């Protein structure tokens, strides 16, 4: 009898573990937005808020040839590795947010920063990175930099292909224009890191944009809008409809919360990200932790 109960218990644990591992949608947070850039405590906070994973930032860029990245320091990286194991939180992606303000398309040195990001990904066993093209490489406002963007992403794509990783880019283009951009780059290692706020602020149809891109061109999703209200109160996003669209596309992956903070309490990290995490869990994971 005890033997049978033991076997039954073991099977239950294995089934739960399999179900967790097979989760179609996972919810992530961002260390930078949690005000814990490259701090191991961001992992504990992520677990406390109920999210599945964390996007780690590469650190500041400024006028340096590469990022101020402490994750390449063995002792610090070990702290993250230990925390990830203890808290059972995944590192879903590595972010190069320094390129929001710095120019990926015009900087003399950019290869080293990409190489350092890829090296960090390999050391931390992360498959996707985030590269925003930012203000200076906005292809809608500055179409003259397109050739430079394409050429540099072709180089980055070859580097990523060799390492077996993917670089997800964020642009200001429409989905149809992004399809054309990806074709020009011609690398399976360069995909779109889709942000809900991008089409919404331009008045484009969020759901059609997702369909236009299709599942194979979307690396990850920043499941977020501008700061105003929590996602559950946002009249611009019908989240159950988003899920139906993604389901029909057969897309699966990480939904990473960037903003969508309550404008009345923008610094309430736990309140804002806890509420948004709980809501996305409810919609995409039936409320499962």
12-23 pLDDT tens trace? 433 333 444 468
184 φ/ψ angles, rounded to the nearest 5 degrees: -65, -35
For every residue of the chain, DSSP letters joined together read -HHHHHHHHHHHHHHHHHHHHT-SEEEEEETTTTT-TT-THHHHHHHHTT-SEEEEE----TTSSS---GGGSHHHHHHHHHHHHHHT-EEEEEE-GGGGTS-TTT-S--HHHHHHHHHHHHHHT--EEEEE-TTTT-TTT-GGGHHHHHHHHHHHHHHHHHHT-EEEEE-SS-HHHHHHHHHHH--TTEEEEEETHHHHHTT--HHHHHHHH-GGGEEEEE----SBS-GGG-TT--HHHHHHHHHHHT--EEEE-----BTTSTT-HHHHHHHHHHHHHHHHHTT--
pLDDT, mean over the chain: 92
Q: Which of 17-31, 151-165, 217-231, 243-257 has the lowest mean pLDDT?
A: 17-31
Cα 280 from Cα 283, distance rounded (Å): 5
Average pLDDT over residues 162-177: 98
Q: Which residue's structure tokens are 């097979």?
A: 22
Q: Provide the CB-side half-sphere exposure for 140 (13 A, CA).
A: 14
127 closest CA partner among 185, 55, 41: 55
pTM for the complete prediction? 0.91
Q: DSSP secondary-structure letter at 35?
A: T
Give yes or no for residue 108 having a pLDDT over 90: no
pLDDT value of residue 63: 87
pLDDT value of residue 287: 54
Domains of the chain: 24-285 (3.20.20.150)
Cα 9 from Cα 6, distance rounded (Å): 5
């Amino acid at each position: 009898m005890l033997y049978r109960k033991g076997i039954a218990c073991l099977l239950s644990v294995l089934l739960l573990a399999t179900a967790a591992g097979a989760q179609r949608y996972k919810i992530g947070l961002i260390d930078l937005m949690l005000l814990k850039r490259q701090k191991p405590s961001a992992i504990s906070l992520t677990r406390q808020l109920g999210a599945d994973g964390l996007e780690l930032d590469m650190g500041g860029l400024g006028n340096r040839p590469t990022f101020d990245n402490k994750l390449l320091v063995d002792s610090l990286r070990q702290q993250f590795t230990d925390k990830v194991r203890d808290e059972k939180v995944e590192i879903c992606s590595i972010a190069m947010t320094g390129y929001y303000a710095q120019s990926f398309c015009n900087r003399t040195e950019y290869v080293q920063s990409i190489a350092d990001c890829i090296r960090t990904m390999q050391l931390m066993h992360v498959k996707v990175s985030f590269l925003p093209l930012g203000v200076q490489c906005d292809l809608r406002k500055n179409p003259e930099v397109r050739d430079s963007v394409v050429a540099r992403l072709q180089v980055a794509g070859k580097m990523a292909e060799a390492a077996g990783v993917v670089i997800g880019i964020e642009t200001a283009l429409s989905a149809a224009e992004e399809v054309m951009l990806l074709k020009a780059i011609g690398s399976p290692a360069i995909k779109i890191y889709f942000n809900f706020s991008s089409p919404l602020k331009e008045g484009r149809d969020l759901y059609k944009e997702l369909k236009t891109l299709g599942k194979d061109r979307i690396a990850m999703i920043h499941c977020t809008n501008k700061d105003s209200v929590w996602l559950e109160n946002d009249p611009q996003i019908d989240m159950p409809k988003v899920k139906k669209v993604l389901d029909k596309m057969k897309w699966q992956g990480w939904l990473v919360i960037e903003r969508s903070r309550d404008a009345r309490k923008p610094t309430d990290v736990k309140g804002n990200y806890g509420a948004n995490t709980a809501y996305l869990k409810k919609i995409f994971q039936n409320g499962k932790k």
